[in-house]
Amino acid sequence: MVRKIPVLKKVWSAYEEWFLDTATGEVYVYCAPDAPSFGIWERVDVLKHLNSPDPAPLSVFRVGPISAIAAHVMKMKLEDLLKRDLVEELIPRRTSGHGTEKWFKDKVSSIIYRLSEYYGLGEPDDIRWEVVSQKDSR
């Protein structure tokens, strides 16, 4: 049985919810799906997240669809974070099938994010900054 508990420190998104498994004492985070992204249901290492610096470097970027201008500015900031060794660029475990996808691991929170960009000819652009679920990152 699980019950909803207060979020002590948001890490994944502004809309996350935390749940306590009353049988095991483990805490899980839930983020609702936002197409084409899948939702998140993962165990939270509460002590690790509470002890991490606030805010973690990549958590300052808004998760979800972004504009081409925002993506350009984000890429410049990502370069700076990479140079300062606060972020690590990863090779994607999977790709979206169209456009480009770059993955980044926040070295403070250990959360993996992806920047996916699709610039369509005759179709709308689709540019997103998302949290990569643990399932997808394996």
Please write the tens of the pLDDT for every residue from 75-99: 999 999 999 898 999 988 665 567 8
Report the predicted TM-score, pTM, of the whole model to 2 decimal places.
0.60
Assigned token pair, 14: 């502004």
> Token pair for residue 54?
């606030």
pLDDT digits (tens, 9 = 90+) for 21-60: 888 888 888 888 776 667 788 888 777 766 665 677 888 8
Between CA 6 and CA 11, with CA 10 as vertex, the angle to 5 degrees is 140
Q: How far apart are CA 41 and CA 28, in angstroms?
A: 6
Residues 6+ apart with CB under 8 A from 134: 42
Q: Are 106 and 87 in contact (CB under 8 A)?
A: yes
- Map tokens 């509460």 to a residue: 46
What would the two tokens of residue 63 be? 């998760």
- Is the Cβ–Cβ distance between 22 and 16 less than 8 Å? no
